[in-house]
Amino acid sequence: MQVIFGLGNPGDKYLATRHNAGFWYVDALAAAYDCQFKTEKKFKAQIATLTLMGQKLWLVKPQTFMNCSGQSVIPLMNFYRIPAEDILVAYDELDIPAGTAKLKRGGGHGGHNGLRDIIPGIGPDFKRLRIGIGHPGDKSKVTPWVLGRPSIDDQISIARCIDKCVAETANLIKGDWDRAMKNIHTV
């Protein structure tokens, strides 16, 4: 793995909203490894680099809105000729309880509009870190839910979950997918 894309919406208005769980993960990684994001207008993204397990790793936060994530992800991957299997996309997941995360290889978009915009350009064969935000219980409440702030209890649960994911990133980098999956999936 060479690149971790954290999906979210840019701007202060969305900073603390559930839809930014992917940003929260890459921000936590950058903080843990003391690296800073820099704006790369060419790729409509903020990018930080670090070396982990002897490998250069890019952390990328697309600065398009969630539904247009492909406008950042696809050009960067094409320019650097990065195959889909060398990336991890971290994003919010409605169908997983808040405070839980799941790793997954490949698949469809599952109704997530950020993935829906990425898949046509790079295919479905990338790795995913699905960060649970819970479901509001009714389909009509999904948009305000993902664009809303989590409760204090959910914020704490999600932060702990992200800390666990950050701790397992080294296992992901060295290719120990099964160990990372076991540790992340264990509550």
Q: What is the pLDDT of residues 38-69, one digit of tens each?
A: 999 999 999 999 998 888 999 999 999 999 99
Phi, psi of 173 (to 5 degrees): -65, -40
Predicted confidence (pLDDT) at residue 109 exceeds the cutoff of 80? yes
Helix, strand, coil abundance in the chain, percent, nearest 5:
45, 20, 30
Strand 3-6, strand 127-132: pairing? unpaired
Q: Percent of the chain scored above 90 by pLDDT?
A: 92
Predicted confidence (pLDDT) at residue 169 exceeds the cutoff of 90? yes
* pTM of the model as a whole: 0.95
Please report how the helices 152-173 and 21-32 are oriented relative to each other, as an axis angle in degrees rounded to 10.
60
19, 109, 135, 185: the catalytic one is 19
Q: What is the mean pLDDT of residues 126-136?
A: 97
pLDDT in tens, 149-166: 999 999 999 999 999 999
Predicted confidence (pLDDT) at residue 132 exceeds the cutoff of 70? yes
- CB neighbourhood size of 50 (10 A): 15
Predicted confidence (pLDDT) at residue 83 exceeds the cutoff of 80? yes
19 is an active site residue = yes
